[in-house]
Structure 1
Amino acid sequence: MIRDLPPLPLPQYAVVRIGCSPRVPTEIAADLRQTGVPAGLIGYEYRPLAEAAVLDGFGECGVVVFGSCSLFGLIGINVASRLIVHIPSTEASVVNHVNRDLGAFHRCVAATIARFPFYEEHEEDRFDQAADDLRELLATLDATALAHNGFWETLCDDVAMGDYANWED
Structure 2
Amino acid sequence: MSDEPFDEEPAEHHRYRRYLQDLEDVPEADEAALVATVLRDPVLSMAEAAVNRHLECRASKLLTDPAFTAWARSMATVIWDRPFLTRRLREWTLLRAIARDEPWTAEEVTTASDWFQRTASAARIVTSAEALSLLAERGRSRRVRNAASRRLHHPDQQPT
When normalised by structure 2's length, the TM-score is: 0.30
When normalised by structure 1's length, the TM-score is: 0.29
The structure whose Rg is larger is: 2
* Larger RCO: 1 or 2 (CA < 8 Å, sep 6+): 1
Relative to total residues, which structure has the larger strand share, 1 or 2?
Answer: 1
